[in-house]
Amino acid sequence: MAKNKAEQEPQFIPSPINGQMINYKVYYMSFGEKLFAFLVTFVLGGLAGLVFYGGLFKQGGEATMATHVSNIVVFTLIGGIASKFFIPAIKNSFFEKRAKKLRKQFMDLLEVLSASLSAGNTVNDAFLNARGDLLNQYSEKEYIIRELAEISSGITNGKTLEEMVMSFGARSNNEDIENFGNVISNCYRLGGNFNDVISRTRKILGDKIGIEDEIQTKLASNVLQHNAMCLMPIILVSMLKLMNESFSKNLASGVGVVVTTVAIAIFVGSYFWGRKIIDIK
């Protein structure tokens, strides 16, 4: 239920100055991304379906009209099922990629802010100058540049830095950015050393990213093995069908279709189970 609610959240949320800003808690695929995901999953799923269910209703080893029709049905049906199951996985990969990109850009922002504060600028000036500094690394379309433009507009239009950063943190879907907004708020209310806060935040976030990278490095071989094991049944069945006519004939029989269906169900279940095992946060 929580997942459905998250998916229904708007793509954009108004900032304190009513600018329509990205809601990083959800990901809406563009038309191009949807088309790419559909074509890839549909075609690969359809081809995999033909490997296991292709060649039905042959007579005397020769394909009949029923064989061609069944191949089209199998390709379309299995391709559609594959799209339904695997497009969400592709969407999730886009979502995670965006989250990592935003976190990396936020790290660069902390670097710029720390340098600016060390040079004697106020925290407001540091944020106002950060966009110009980061434009040397990023284009106008990048997430952090858009966020800094909105923060700068808010400050120049009478909103406090606290309000603007808290708004960014609430939309970011990133615990570190949200905590950073809370710390900025507390510093404003209770007083604090902004330079020390930003330096500490950068160090903690850098340590977390380092640990995550180390985990991913150690898991790289397991991920490769998982992907290889998922492809092996398709490759082996393809080879056996091409090299052994009796195997192909038995696979196309009634018993063969039932056994194949059970095996595919186990195969798909194992794939998603394996994904959960190697998905370490």
Q: Where are the domains of the chain?
A: 2-278
The residue-averaged pLDDT of 127-144 equals: 92
The residues pairing with 14 across neighbouring beta strands, listed in sequence order, are 20
Instruction: Give the contacts of 6 (CB within 8 A, at least 6 positions apart).
Output: 25, 26
Task: Render pLDDT for 5-64 as a digit per residue (tens, 0 to 9).
Answer: 445 789 999 999 999 999 999 999 999 999 999 999 999 999 999 988 988 888 777 878
| Mean per-residue pLDDT over the chain, rounded | 86
Q: Which residue has the higher pLDDT, 207 or 40?
A: 40
- In this predicted structure, what is the pLDDT of residue 186? 81
Task: Render pLDDT for 82-120 as a digit per residue (tens, 0 to 9).
Answer: 999 889 989 999 999 999 999 999 999 999 998 888 888
C-alpha radius of gyration, the chain, whole number: 26
Instruction: Give the contacts of 190 (CB within 8 A, at least 6 positions apart).
Output: none
Contact 102, 180 (CB under 8 A): no
Whole-model pTM? 0.81
How does residue 175 score in pLDDT terms, banded at 50, 70 and 90? confident
